[in-house]
Structure 1
Amino acid sequence: MDERDWTVLQTLYKEKNITNAAHALYISQPALTNRLKAMEKQFGVRIVNRGRRGIQFTPQGEYLVKSAQEMLWHIQKIKETVLNMEDKHSGILRLGVSTFFTDYKLPGLLKLFKAQYPEIEFKVTTGLSSQITHLMHNQEVHISFVKGDHRWNDQKKLLFEESICIASKEAIDIRRLPTLPRIDYQTDSLLKNDVDNWWAENYSQPPLVSINVDKADTCKKMVANGLGYAIMPTMILNDLDNIHRIEIKTKKGEKIIRKTWMFYHKQSLELNIVKAFVEFVDGIDLQSIS
């Protein structure tokens, strides 16, 4: 079994379909089938059973898939260690990045870093902050950028803070909020809980949600076109003029704050590329990057 075989198992388990897995791996369906048969012959067991609804992994296949994740992780570690022994800044830096940071900060940050370290490449995984934190705990990424106070007991750096506000095209009376059309978007559970708790403190009836979208950027465009109000972090709105903002506060008069963090493992600083990136982020003003 080589690295490619372990990757084949992982992909096949994810897709549950030979055709889709072959497409994801950029190989032909017959080539994938032959590779699977070779693995079954090597171990002397059936790895999958085929049916009308796709494929099902046998207990032996399930065990091999679990082993695939561990084997690929070890192979990646070996590659990184070998490159690190050359005392050069080269290799692949694996980043996990929240959706907001991807859209508004990451391109400019990577451009600046790449100018200083041209031999370092990037593998970027994006998603909700809770998903990225999970990747970090599993050591699937070297460094992550997340929004909100997610549980993390290793190294972290606070990058910036922003308040949460009610954003609307026209000025609105906050007392009438439950009767006005609201635009919601898919966000992390921590922010959703903060907003829901604030609402429960101030109103006795649920919000009038007229539009649900998947991303904050889409929500922002809806607000800019006067289709309703939204409750979102202020930095998302920085590139919009003529948007009315009302910061939401607790009953004690405190602003509700959303923090953005950089997480990493202390041990990973032994890798030149990770240490270089962490030190680079420490030395720049992320607020000024757009």
Structure 2
Amino acid sequence: MDYRDWEILKVLYHQKNLTKTARLLFLTQPALTNRLKHMQEELGVKIITRESRGVHFTPQGEYLVHCAEEALAHYQRVKETVKNMSNNESNEVAGTLKLGVSNFFANYELPYILKLFKQQYPHVEFKVVTGWSRDVTQLIHNKDVHISFVRGDYGWRGLSKHQIFEETICIASKDKIDMTDLPRLPRIDYRGDYLLKSVIDHWWAENYAEAPFISIEVDQVDTCKEMVINGLGYGILSSRVVTGIEDLYKINLLDLEGTPILRRTWMYYHKESLEWNVVKAFVHFIENFDWKENG
């Protein structure tokens, strides 16, 4: 079996349809069928069965799909390593940079950053994986990405990090509110990162003896923001989320000493990855980026 066979198995497993798979791989359906037949004969096992609802993989086929994903991922890593070795020799900044990015950073900050970096290094391509900060931290820890951008103070030993910016956490409301009335006012709550939630819950417990009145629950911070803008209740949000919205009443959360509670955004990377020109160039670019001017 070769690279093309592994690719066929992976695509067919996700499509469960021979016609769609052939089209995606730019093969004729008879050519695809013959390739699958050859694989089964070579291995001496039945890989798939054809049913009315599409293709079904046998247990042996399921195992081969798992092997295919590992083989293709390994091949991609080999290609990137060899290409970056070549780049190191020529000092050319090129190749694919894999980034793990928190959802908010991906939506609000990353596109402009990549635009500027691409203008400076046009031969660099990007592969971006987004998610909650906790999951993105795991990606860099496992070396599934070269660099990650994480909101919140997650810590992993052995990783290099650089603080991107810090922001306050604030109560935002369409109308002016009295903080003593907060437990009785409608709150728009959203499913945020668990570290941010723990910070907010700790602040609430220090200041109020009763639970908040959650009137609406949503799963995205942008939805929460829009509901706050439309006067449906108050929200507790990172200040960067509501930057530039002037007609909102905002109060920063303070600790018991009266100091604003801050949320930091970090860039994480492995020090040894700086041996690759593309990673080194991007880390240097971010470290020298003016967040106040471009924020």
The bucket for the TM-score relative to the shorter chain is 0.7 to 0.9
Q: Does 1:238 align with 2:243?
A: yes
Structure 2 residue runs without a partner (length 5+): none
Q: Distance in 2 between matches of 1:109 and 1:273?
A: 15
> Helix, strand or coil: the match of 2:161?
strand
Q: 1:174 to 1:114 in 2, by over 3 A?
A: same
Equivalences for residues 61-140 of structure 1 within 5 A: 61=61, 63-84=63-84, 85-86=86-87, 87=90, 88-140=92-144
TM-score by length of 2: 0.84
Question: 1:143 and 2:141 equivalent?
Answer: no
Q: Which amino acid aligns with 2:195?
A: L
Counterpart CA distance in 1 for 2:148 and 2:288 is: 17
Q: Tell me if the contact between 1:109 and 1:289 (Cα under 8 Å) persists in the aligned partners.
A: no
CA distance in 1, matches of 2:152, 2:67: 33
1:94 deviation in Å? 1.2
Query: Identity percentage over the alignment?
Result: 51
Q: How many residues align?
A: 288
Instruction: Map Cα deviations across residues 26-84 of structure 1 (whole Å, 9 max, x no partner).
Output: 35995897365554444333456788998876654454444344323321222112222
In 2, the alpha carbon distance for the partners of 1:114 and 1:200 equals 46
Residue by residue over 1:195-218, the C-alpha shift from the partner in whole angstroms, topping out at 9 and shown as x without a partner, is 122222222332222222232122
Higher CA-based Rg:
2
> Aligned residue for 2:192?
187
Q: Determine if the alignment matches structure 1 residue 259 to structure 2 residue 283.
A: no
Q: Does the CA contact (< 8 Å) of 1:22 and 1:29 recur in 2?
A: no
Other-structure match for 2:16: 18
Normalised by the length of structure 1, the TM-score is: 0.85
What secondary structure, in the 3-state scheme, does the structure 2 residue paired with 1:162 have?
A: strand
Q: Against the structure 1 CA distance between its residues 243 and 120, is the aligned structure 2 distance closer, same or farther, given a 3 Å change threshold?
A: same
Q: What amino acid is aligned across from residue 262 of structure 1 in structure 2?
A: M
Deviates more, 1:83-92 or 1:27-36: 27-36
Q: What are structure 1's unaligned runs of at least 5 residues?
A: none
Relative to 1, partners in 2 of residues 1:90 and 1:165: Cα closer, same or farther, differing over 3 Å? same
Q: Secondary structure at the match of 1:249?
A: coil
Alpha-carbon distance between aligned partners in 2 of 1:215 and 1:21, rounded to the nearest angstrom: 37
In structure 2, C-alpha distance between the alignment counterparts of 1:213 and 1:7, rounded to whole Å? 39
The answer as to whether partners of 2:18 and 2:55 remain within 8 angstroms in 1 is no
Shift of 1:278: 0.7
Q: Say yes or no: does 1:247 pair with 2:245.
A: no
* Residue pair 2:165, 2:266 contacting (<8 A) in 1 also: yes
- CA RMSD for the aligned pairs? 3.1
Output the CA distance in 1 between the equivalents of 2:121 and 2:169: 36
Partner of 1:275: 280
Q: Which moved more, 1:55-64 or 1:168-177?
A: 55-64
